[in-house]
Amino acid sequence: MRIAAISFPATRRAMVDPGPQLRPAVGAKLRRPVARLGRPPHWTRRQALSGTLHWLALAASAGFAVRAGAQDGPPVVPLEVTEIASGVFVHQGAYALFAPSNRGDVANLSFVVGRDAVAVIDTGGSFAVGQALRAAIRAVTDKPIRHVINTHMHPDHLFGNAAFAEDRPDFIGHHKLAQALAARADRYLAVNAQLLGSEAFAGTRLIAPTRAVHDRAVIDLGGRELILEAQPTAHTDNDLTVHDTATGTLFLGDLLFMRHIPALDGSIRGWLALIDRLERVDAKRVVPGHGPPIAAWPEPMQPQKRYLETISAEVRRMIKEGRSIAEAATTVGLSEKDAWLLFDAFNARNVTAAFAELEWE
């Protein structure tokens, strides 16, 4: 299989969608040693749900690190991941904006291990973060990585794709993802180059999807199916959800923000309508695009729904009163300020996007 790549001059880097970063709380320690790299320990269900896998500490104590690919290069320290359900691993990104210090590691990244293969769900904000995610996978299993799923176009979720190129997986996304990336590629690369700096962004390049989901698709990892659904315009116009039927785990990407303020880059009306439908999905747990690595479902959607409804109602009121978009940007949504991290970085932009949409109702 040929991997479609979008190549850019080496002097360019890339931009990520800002996202969360407070490191996940340390849970129960690994109860059994790993006999050798590439084989997971045998976990009980309780351990799987609560234990954070400290692969970094494991590697340090054993005196080794994992290499990210077949080519020789410096050792790569694996990302810290949590097994939230049997065979489902999540790395929690930072509650932060892109910066050299975090290398674009500001979104939640996941992988699911089946009997025959591995599927990755989002890859991080740089090649370096993607390498560290791949190293974490290799610390858990040596099964082939056959699928890399991008939940949407924002760089913090897919700029790590290139770290998986040598695995030759299907790169899977919403049917509108390729067009959205092509339209913003130059801007994403230029801005993120400045945000991360050349060292943190070295090796990063965009890899376009090789498989598009138009409505619904099913991936079989061997005794384990993932259901992929292309969603209507909401957070963006290319949001894709993933449902692991084996464990009842729902991966929503940035259709769900927790603690990190939501970021509107699609349609506020569409997002609110989709929330009502998503809340009826039969799932046991959810992985948000930003926030803790796991939450019960569907309760975590309520704070986000309240925020979007507040923005929508207050923007409509200002439009009715004949107020300007500039006034709205500085006054709408302030009652929500204490409820969200990174409020000042995103709220005015959300209000501006909502105003531009709603003034034409």
**Residue 189 included in any domain:** yes
Q: What does the pLDDT read at residue 128?
A: 98
Residue 162: pLDDT band with limits 50, 70, 90: very high
**Residue 276 included in any domain:** no
Domain that holds residue 77: 5-257+288-296
Q: Within 10 Å of residue 264's Cβ, how many Cβ atoms?
A: 23
Residue 358 has pLDDT above 90, yes or no: yes
In one letter, which amino acid is 59? A
| 43, 66, 139, 150 from 56: Cα distances, Å | 18, 10, 10, 25
| Phi, psi angle pair for 59, to nearest 5° | -65, -40
**Residue 279 included in any domain:** no
Mean pLDDT to the nearest integer, 214-225: 98
Q: Contact 215/230 with Cβ under 8 angstroms?
A: yes
| Phi, psi angle pair for 355, to nearest 5° | -60, -45
Residue 73: pLDDT band with limits 50, 70, 90: low
Q: 251-260 pLDDT, tens per residue? A: 999 999 999 9
Q: 16-51 pLDDT, tens per residue? A: 333 333 333 333 333 222 222 233 333 343 343 334
Mean residue pLDDT of the chain comes to 85
Q: 74-102 pLDDT, tens per residue? A: 789 999 999 999 999 999 999 999 999 99
Instruction: Report the domain count for the chain.
Output: 1
Alpha helices in the chain (DSSP H): 45-50, 55-62, 127-140, 155-158, 177-201, 268-278, 301-320, 325-331, 343-358
CA 16 to mean position of chain CA atoms:
11
pTM for the full model? 0.82
Q: 282-340 pLDDT, tens per residue? A: 999 999 999 999 999 999 999 999 999 999 999 999 999 999 999 999 999 999 999 99
**Residue 347 included in any domain:** no
Q: Contact 79/60 with Cβ under 8 angstroms?
A: no
**Residue 342 included in any domain:** no
Q: b/e string for 180-197 if b means 16 or more Cβ within 10 A?
A: bbeebbeebbebbbebbb
**Residue 326 included in any domain:** no
Q: What percent of the chain has pLDDT over 70?
A: 80
Residue at token pair 């176009």: 153
- CA 314 – CA 320 distance, rounded (Å): 10
Identify the CATH number of the domain in which residue 122 sits: 3.60.15.10
- CA 86 – CA 81 distance, rounded (Å): 13
**Residue 270 included in any domain:** no
- CA 294 – CA 317 distance, rounded (Å): 36
**Residue 269 included in any domain:** no
